Amino acid sequence: MGSRSALLVVAIASSMGCATARIHDERSAAPSSPSAPVIAVPFHAQEAYECGPAALAMTLGWSGLEIAPADIVGEVFTPGRKGSIQTDLVAAARRRDRVAYVVHGRDELLAEIAAGNPVIVLQNLGLSWLPRWHYAVAVGHDTTRGAFVLHSGRDANRAVGEATFAHTWRRADEWGLLTLPPERIAATADEQRWLAAGVGLEQAGRVQAAGAAYGAAIKRWPESLAARIGLANVEYAGGDFAAAERSLRSAIAGHPTAAVAWNNLAQLLGERGRKTEAIEAARRAVALGGPDIDVYKDTLEAIERR
Amino acid sequence: MRFPKTFAKAVAVVVAPALLVCMTAQSTAAAMVSTARVVAAAAQPDARAAVNAFIARGDVQDVMTRWGVDPEEANARVAALTDEEVSDLAARIEAMPAGGEVVGIIVGAILLVFFVLLLTDLLGLTDIFPFIKKKH
């Protein structure tokens, strides 16, 4: 093998995988044009295959958590796959009290960037039959040059042309991830989507953060029944029964026919020894019925037995 | 301890009805209706979906452990996913892309691959080589 082909082998080997051991990169040398507003996201150059931990450390850093990629490798990286799978990023964000919010498609990506929310994007930099999966962080969109601005691999603020980005992102199903402070509702969120993201925090056992996400939802969508039920649930889980009762009563004030609110109030009152009130609330839930009627009946029965 | 897949499935078939009973009984003990259930009211997950998710958590954890993730860490990762996410993941975990993965290729194919990627890079379809200046 001649020295020239040996060089090629080295070039290929070094560019495979998300290692991106880029020795020189003309594109990164040119800073993005001053006209492009770029979100202030702390940059971490990735080590070896660790684009997942690096990307997550960057968006967590933006969200106010100073963290090094090395600190989260254990939570994000899967040795057997020499990489990070999407759900591991989701789980790790939640474990750090951040709302993991998934976006799809160009419109949502642009809306979040415009709102100042950096987005972790999964790209396939190779081909469908020769994939090279990579995580980068989209921090800006340069309309004048027709490029996305990415923190990627070893390059901060790297401009990647619209068409090239579109190809590499489409091969990864145009998947993007936001890691938001729980008070900061995503630009593309509606009530249902935001609350579903909040449920993820509750599932992860991060009840304080989940409560903050539900609280933000109540401010944005004051009519929301699910947000109040959610807030009451996390207050109950945290042992703040007075607050939970207030949340449930305010849910009932806005939605007097919501059986679930009556049921949860009955359960709470029953546990606090307020039997008469509890039975009355439980009877309301049973009378209103719905898909969870069996649960309501159980609640009533349990309280009557107390 | 690891069981063969089919045996695990057989156990699941036997255990699942028992779990359903446990869940119904459990609701008597603590009958706060969960936020997840209220939020997902449109696509109401039934008890069977809950059982499937329960089994999926074990399956996903097994795969992660096989991939070298510490069992306790695998448990913590799975615990932070919702029932829906974990069921979805269990169905396609082997095919999940892992950002950072290295492609295994035989040396003989390298040159061919290089030229293909060189061409596609020049066309702006891929973004492999840093020394290719692209037309944006």
pLDDT digits (tens, 9 = 90+) for A80-139: 998 999 999 999 999 999 999 999 999 999 999 999 999 999 999 988 888 889 999 999
Answer yes or no: is pLDDT of A25 > 70: no
A52: closest CA of chain B, how far (Å) = 6
Q: Residue A142 forms beta bridges with which residues?
A: A147
Chain A, 2 to 41: residues with Cβ < 8 Å from chain B are 5, 8-9, 11-12, 15-19, 22-28
Rounded distance between C-alpha atoms, residue B93 and residue B66, angstroms: 12
pLDDT digits (tens, 9 = 90+) for A259-289: 999 999 999 999 999 999 999 999 999 999 9
Q: What is the pLDDT of residue A36?
A: 62
Answer yes or no: is pLDDT of A52 > 90: yes
Answer yes or no: is pLDDT of A34 > 60: no
Rounded distance between C-alpha atoms, residue A280 and residue A291, angstroms: 20
- Please tell me if residue A208 touches chain B, with a CB cutoff of 8 Å: no
CB atoms near residue A244 (< 10 Å): 23
Q: What is the pLDDT of residue B78?
A: 95
Taken as a whole, chain B contains a residue count of 136
The owner of tokens 């790297």 is A158
In this complex, how many residue pairs, one in chain A and one in chain B, have their CB atoms less than 8 Å apart? Answer: 241
Residue from B28, B32, B83 whose CB has the most chain A CBs within 10 Å, to mutate: B32
- Give the percent of chain A with pLDDT over 90: 81
For the residues A179-189, what does the mean pLDDT come to? Answer: 98
Q: What is the mean pLDDT of chain A?
A: 89
Do the Cβ atoms of A195 and B39 come within 8 Å? yes
Q: What is the pLDDT of residue B134?
A: 61
Residues 6+ apart with CB under 8 A from A122: A86, A133, A134, A135, A169, A172, A173, A175, A176, B97, B99
Rounded distance between C-alpha atoms, residue A262 and residue A287, angstroms: 10
Cross-chain CB nearest to B97 (options A25, A172, A301): A172
Instruction: Note whether ipTM > 0.85 here.
Output: no
Chain B residue with the nearest C-alpha to that of A22: B130
pLDDT digits (tens, 9 = 90+) for A197-248: 999 999 999 999 999 999 999 999 999 999 999 999 999 999 999 999 999 9
Residues 6+ apart with CB under 8 A from A85: A78, B93, B96, B97, B98, B99
- Tell me which chain B residues have a C-beta less than 8 angstroms from the C-beta of A233: 32, 34-35
Higher pLDDT, A220 or B134: A220
Answer yes or no: is pLDDT of B27 > 60: no
Rounded distance between C-alpha atoms, residue A185 and residue B43, angstroms: 23
Chain A residue with the nearest C-alpha to that of B25: A298
Chain B residue with the nearest C-alpha to that of A11: B129
Q: Counting Cβ atoms within 10 Å, is residue B136 exposed (0-12), middle (13-18) or buried (19+)?
A: middle
Confidence of residue B122 (pLDDT cuts 50, 70, 90): confident
- Please tell me if residue A263 touches chain B, with a CB cutoff of 8 Å: yes
For the residues B31-58, what does the mean pLDDT come to? Answer: 78
Confidence of residue B136 (pLDDT cuts 50, 70, 90): low
Q: What is the pLDDT of residue A250?
A: 96
Rounded distance between C-alpha atoms, residue A138 and residue A147, angstroms: 11
Q: What is the pLDDT of residue B40?
A: 74
- Tell me which chain A residues have a C-beta less than 8 angstroms from the C-beta of B64: 78
The one-character DSSP state at B86 is H
Higher pLDDT, A302 or B104: A302
Do the Cβ atoms of B100 and A50 come within 8 Å? yes
Higher pLDDT, A107 or B49: A107
For the residues A59-78, what does the mean pLDDT come to? Answer: 96
Chain A residue with the nearest C-alpha to that of B94: A81
- Tell me which chain A residues have a C-beta less than 8 angstroms from the C-beta of B42: 192
Answer yes or no: is pLDDT of B45 > 70: no
> What is the signed CA dihedral for A59, A62, A65, A67, rounded to 10 degrees?
60
- Please tell me if residue A91 touches chain B, with a CB cutoff of 8 Å: yes
Chain A, 229 to 248: residues with Cβ < 8 Å from chain B are 229-230, 233-234, 236
